Amino acid sequence: MASTTRTWLWVVLGVMGTLALVVVVVIGGAIFEFRRHVRTERVENQTAEEEFNHQREQFAGQQPLIELTGGDGHDDQPTIHRAPDTARRVEIKTLRVLIYSFNEGRLIHADVPGWLLRTMSSTTRSRTPGTAPSWQGGAFDADFNMRRVPFSIEDLERHGLGLVLDGRNRQTRILMWSE
């Protein structure tokens, strides 16, 4: 009887240890992936503007998928220039985002892998049956709320590679492009 109890105890402890190890690996993997795709640095306004201008040069003459007008962050009216449904879709490998907070002097470089965009899009789709699927790009700043700018992975793919968003308000500058 004592050996049977000991055997069950070792089985339970083994299962609990395995589960704990899996949790640690998953959390560690998530932290590793986040740190690999997001980089933050403190820079002066002029340095940030130079970085934005350098990145923006490659999109000279391109119309972004999303335009913001209004300028103060609260009154921005997003205009989405959607391509027709018949437009050829291009696979998005990476969505690159450059964000600068004027108040904090913080420049954020983020690379969102295409597979993650598609996963986020399908998750949103499964939660809201009967509605058009859209990926909403979270709030980047209290004054630059991207939740009011819904766009889908299909919109990105039909727009093609290039400039997605170029916006600015009193506190934040953002540039988003797809590759």
What is the rounded CA–CA span in Å between residue 13 and residue 47?
55
If asked whether residues 33 and 62 sit together in one domain, one would say no
Indicate if 97 and 112 belong to the same structural domain.
Answer: yes
Q: How many CB atoms lie within 10 A of CB 82?
A: 14
55 and 25 within one domain? no
Same domain? For 34 and 47 the reply is no
Which of the residue ranges 35-39, 85-89, 96-100 has the most confident prediction, judged by mean pLDDT?
A: 96-100
Indicate the residue type of 176. Answer: M
Q: Are residues 27 and 53 in the same domain?
A: no
pLDDT of residue 133: 37
Instruction: Tell whether the model's pLDDT for residue 3 goes beyond 50.
Output: yes
Number of domains comprising the chain: 2
* CA nearest neighbour of 158 among 94, 82, 97, 93: 82
What is the Cβ-side half-sphere exposure of residue 68, based on CA atoms within 13 angstroms?
27
Q: What is the structure's pLDDT at 121? A: 67
